[in-house]
Structure 1
């Protein structure tokens, strides 16, 4: 966990990306940054009490300053200011008690830094960062040290080299698997298990037919912070067997109006022209009166991609899943709220995604690694994603009853896969025409069309009258899922499904003396699933043998899950904490994948014979955190078990459920060499076994698509050069895995460089990924399909951001 006490923000760079607050937005005039004021000039200042970072931005805009922030200001509050003050006096008032100080680097550039970085104090306290992904709005200081909140400044510091949310998380948290460099999230395992992705507490997962594309299509411009809670967790429903990731979107602040222009270009050095990829983001936030507003629009376009061997990367290296090359992407986000009265607010947010990948050639799976088949032009429809998400709600404060919110949501996603060419080993079952079983369906690529809607209620009720500091969090969920799994030609290739979900939960937390925080909770969940009858279409096997259509008989079933969690955090000293936790989570099986295989490879043609059930995972974890003046570290060991784990064997094209166990360890460390330079590392180990023959013994290693690499290490050095030029050099090593016979995954080692420099009233960025243009096998991509996929080669990204 990274926070003020641990100066996490320094790990990821500087808030120079948010410097130079200028101009006018939302129609509210502000002093131009071009009219710079000296440190001794006084101005009439009126800044209301509130978020410290927002107050600093407002002050910087008024005095025409650039801010360079070291340290995480998340959760810190500033007192109000009113009167005739110079900038030095105003900064002193705003930063009082925050654990931060400031210095002028130039006449118009101010660096804000943690006091511990200057060695003037022995310790600082954790900021009151609240984590909402648990539904209990708990302070991060009362949770496991493995819980991480990635703030906006940390996110922007990574934008020099990546705009992918997946990479932002992976570079900040151990336990998240290496990027497969595609659109899908199938390899986005955490501690060898599934990840639940929330946006403002609303799930984006579609478990009945996993569409995978979640994190890769979330625009980073709309994100305020990211909460990552490792381990199983059921408080937001099914899906979080490995971790919960909650994306918190931006909310406008009345009187703090900003407008941002952010653009970058990216290219592979093997062919700069053919790989040229521009992107532009326009965003803004603020508010007038009782109304707050925030919004962004991002448009991007990409060219070819190249690997470390200098070869063009196939557009669809993983059989229908697509990639980030040769695409057009548009993301529109908006949020509005109105404060009806103190403690009561109505809000509405929306996100619209339009993604299209135009593929030129099929992929040749016979080469090692797989390659572009220039002799075979792509004949299918484009890969597309058309999704829209709507959330509305009511935040309330009813005094003794409690504070909370009621959210209503509607998610509608259409995800069209690419057409995959025949391969005798990896793609030998292909959809045939309905009226000609010996001819392939040219519109046979798959489409997952899902609608998910419902409501979520969460309330924090203070029980101070019972015990000082005790809080009861309670609520419930109602959800509905409708899933259609079809071909582009409109034929069902999986059984249509509908599912109703109902859940109630309660969580109790309390400090027991100032040394121990205790928390425990329970959630009851029930799902009613209806699987329709459908005609499983006919296929061609090896392009010569017809597989006749077959009738699949649907049915009804119910899942019931009662899950528990409990934790204790012991604060031994101001610098040392230890947590002991037990948690349970569960995931509903990917029924769509089972029904697609009906009558093939022995898969049943009757839903009642599938014998699938929800997979409940139990996680045991011990974690500790030490935060000294110059050295900070967290460490954890864990074990997760379940009786009915979901395993897919790509060699036999079969899905199965069986007993399994995963063990692992994680470590983060950071050391200040000087006030301007520090080094750090992230490391994780994970390995697991399962009961393949269901005899009660865990005799087999989990397949590579669950654990592509048992060990991952990232090391980095971050330094300020020439005062306000921030540079970061990092490298990531993934260890090989040879547990599965004839399916060894090779190791990889990739180095990256990023830099930020305030210039022209904004911030210039430069990022280089794979700076040595290393040729390597992508472990996650190779593990998913069972053949070698090359990792991407050297890319250069240049960007500029200016805030008005």
Structure 2
């Protein structure tokens, strides 16, 4: 794009931004002028005690009110409401004892907000949120202050500018690395280590051959809350060396039937017409009698993306991993439950994902940053993701025996990569035809096809007879993994693998006094892995544009192996006052190495052709953490310092395409803070520091810094201000800075600074949203993307998102 075109594009983008803001403001003013009355008229209500948010929605709908929720209502229960009441009386009864209050900000809209956050009380009421990712259903107040539950209200507050689950988490929790703005999750590290992703307690990770696309494929419309537990943790199996993220999906409630329509359109201001990306979600939940249900369908389509330089973003900047541009996405979610008796419920949930990216051009790796090569149209198969997930379960309450659940799951995923052009440094070998070793296989793109099934049992048994308030959480897992790593044509490029897993665990928790909570547990895990024989295909390369044989086929000999691990955890939480908590914790987690990556490279320099000769062991990580929390009337903050160590870390060398395992140590610190300037405005910040070293020559000394693909940036800071202006118009301004990293010679990662804006306004019985990402259209290097491949990748430019949501 020449300078004239770029100037016109930026002028058009700025004009569009101004027009959008004026349009939303005008629409909001008209809606306010046409506000309806009726809140003062008494109506007959009959609501049983239950989920507070659902009850509030029902009352608001009955009185024709728009409900605006500030704060997190997750886990809170509302009082029963019956009789002939007006809206003010109904809300007063519902919110009694919840730690929240309400106010009418127009005739047809009411705002619910935390009492402590607005200075109307001297003490703080913390919701009794239960965290299920620990397998022990513990109250969040008895856990480390670094544990975070992101409620639906917090999620919806971010939907004005992003529908990506990864960004929602990153904007809410320190320690999560900057988004690489692609489909993959290889750079989604937490505290410099791997993240285990669960959906309703069922793992989505595929450790034997990491497919990476996990969080990017989860539809935010199906999420009720997100639990984030920083640090290593083995309670849900392997993979959680840096953190556990548990996505809790929505569940319907009998008598509160709702239907919603949510749509938005997003565009880059550098070229609005060629970047329009519409999305539409239809969702519903509720129940009749003993049956409850929740469902959603989301369809989305995107076009070109642009960076802060005004240039089109390459569709496949990460060489085979793809992105979100020029894509079609469909996500279908459903959950149904049947209550058999009080405390006993059967349920079935499913999620179906269909994603396709139609790449137009190959990237040009010779430019800085990389760019679109318009002289090289993409001539291969698209990127695809066809996955389906099913979970069936039984929730039970057997009194003194305990409360728990039994889950059976079936995860089937097919993830097809893009074709990446030959490059002498970054992609130096391509799959060749079996009968023509100097000719590239036109169907040589890789496919990871995984099947994961299993059973999970978790039970909380009260031990009040031993000590008042003590409980024992116990259970076990049986899992089966089947992994096939092939080309589209069906040729194995990695060894087919099957793995059986068995595990048992026990966790004891007790409030020793009103000031001290103690917890400790142990888990034993054993995996039996079978790696099949296969013929690694022949590879070719291009020299001067002419195909040449590179290296021939090789017979790989498989074998059997067993991994086992005993992991422990212990924590102590001290409640000094009703506002100050501190915690000291120790936890262990482990991960099974990406065996599929080894077998794909079998026969290359330093990588054996016999599985028995591959020295790969499970990596156990130990995390030590000291944390504190202060929850005052107008000021809230949490802080933590931590250290994590392991004897056999997993580090991928991009220069040699080899995986190595060495001793390593990571140190870090995290801080969150929020201050109420007034009852309508608050400011806050998230900050994290992380750095690590490892032993490259295996002499026991930590002699080198961890590579950039593990730690792209040592420091990240996010600051924000959230305010209600013009009565019920909520606006949020935030900015994120990532520090540069120059620990690795000749591989410096530059800093980045991006500002964003979002707004919500009740209109036409629903909520209008406006979001702007990268307000100033800053040109910057994406630290995570650049770190992964070793070349510069530009970050996304300014986007505008306009949306509307209405419940019925």
TM-score range, shorter chain: over 0.9
Report the equivalent of 2:774.
770
How far does residue 541 in structure 1 lie from its aligned partner after superposition? Answer: 4.0
Report the equivalent of 1:565.
569
Q: Among 641, 654, 659, which residue is 1:637 paired with?
A: 641
How far does residue 548 in structure 1 lie from its aligned partner after superposition? Answer: 0.9
How far does residue 376 in structure 1 lie from its aligned partner after superposition? Answer: 0.8
Cα deviation code 1:88-113 (max 9, x no counterpart): 11111111111222211111111222
Residue ranges of structure 2 left out of the alignment (5+ in a row): 1-33
Partner-residue secondary structure (3-state), 2:684: strand
Report the equivalent of 2:554.
550
Residue 611, structure 1, aligned to residue 620, structure 2: no
Partner-residue secondary structure (3-state), 1:658: coil
Partner-residue secondary structure (3-state), 1:490: coil
Q: Among 740, 760, 764, which residue is 2:764 paired with?
A: 760
Question: For 1:111 and 1:405, how far apart are their aligned partners in 2?
Answer: 36
How far does residue 685 in structure 1 lie from its aligned partner after superposition? Answer: 0.3
Question: For 2:417 and 2:119, how far apart are their aligned partners in 1?
Answer: 55
Report the equivalent of 1:178.
178
Question: For 2:481 and 2:585, how far apart are their aligned partners in 1?
Answer: 32
Question: For 1:37 and 1:349, how far apart are their aligned partners in 2?
Answer: 41
How far does residue 38 in structure 1 lie from its aligned partner after superposition? Answer: 3.0
Question: For 1:224 and 1:46, how far apart are their aligned partners in 2?
Answer: 25
Report the equivalent of 1:321.
321
Question: For 2:622 and 2:193, how far apart are their aligned partners in 1?
Answer: 12
Report the equivalent of 1:801.
805
What TM-score results when the alignment is normalised by the length of structure 1?
Answer: 0.95
How far does residue 120 in structure 1 lie from its aligned partner after superposition? Answer: 2.3
CA contact (8 A) 2:264 2:279 kept: yes
Question: For 2:690 and 2:767, how far apart are their aligned partners in 1?
Answer: 39
Report the equivalent of 2:292.
292
Question: For 2:578 and 2:473, how far apart are their aligned partners in 1?
Answer: 27
Report the equivalent of 1:507.
507
Q: Among 681, 703, 707, which residue is 2:707 paired with?
A: 703
Q: 1:18-33 alignment to 2 at 5 Å?
A: none
Q: 1:778-797 alignment to 2 at 5 Å?
A: 778-797=782-801
Report the equivalent of 2:669.
665
Partner-residue secondary structure (3-state), 1:207: coil
Question: For 2:520 and 2:118, how far apart are their aligned partners in 1?
Answer: 39
Partner-residue secondary structure (3-state), 1:706: coil
How far does residue 309 in structure 1 lie from its aligned partner after superposition? Answer: 0.5
Partner-residue secondary structure (3-state), 1:594: helix
Q: Among 624, 631, 644, which residue is 1:627 paired with?
A: 631
Q: 1:209-288 alignment to 2 at 5 Å?
A: 209-288=209-288
Partner-residue secondary structure (3-state), 1:645: coil
Cα deviation code 1:712-744 (max 9, x no counterpart): 000011110001000000000000000000000
Question: For 1:493 and 1:351, how far apart are their aligned partners in 2?
Answer: 29
Q: 1:351-366 alignment to 2 at 5 Å?
A: 351-366=351-366
CA contact (8 A) 2:35 2:108 kept: no
Q: 1:360-375 alignment to 2 at 5 Å?
A: 360-375=360-375
CA contact (8 A) 2:422 2:541 kept: no
CA contact (8 A) 1:601 1:654 kept: no
Partner-residue secondary structure (3-state), 2:662: strand
Question: For 1:243 and 1:145, how far apart are their aligned partners in 2?
Answer: 14
What TM-score results when the alignment is normalised by the length of structure 2?
Answer: 0.95
How far does residue 146 in structure 1 lie from its aligned partner after superposition? Answer: 0.3
Q: 1:732-771 alignment to 2 at 5 Å?
A: 732-771=736-775
Partner-residue secondary structure (3-state), 2:708: coil
Cα deviation code 1:237-290 (max 9, x no counterpart): 000000000000000000000000000000001111111100000000001010
CA contact (8 A) 1:35 1:63 kept: no
How far does residue 117 in structure 1 lie from its aligned partner after superposition? Answer: 3.3
Cα pair distance change 1:35/1:664, threshold 3 Å: closer
Report the equivalent of 1:196.
196
Residue 138, structure 1, aligned to residue 138, structure 2: yes
Report the equivalent of 2:684.
680
Q: 1:479-490 alignment to 2 at 5 Å?
A: 479-490=479-490
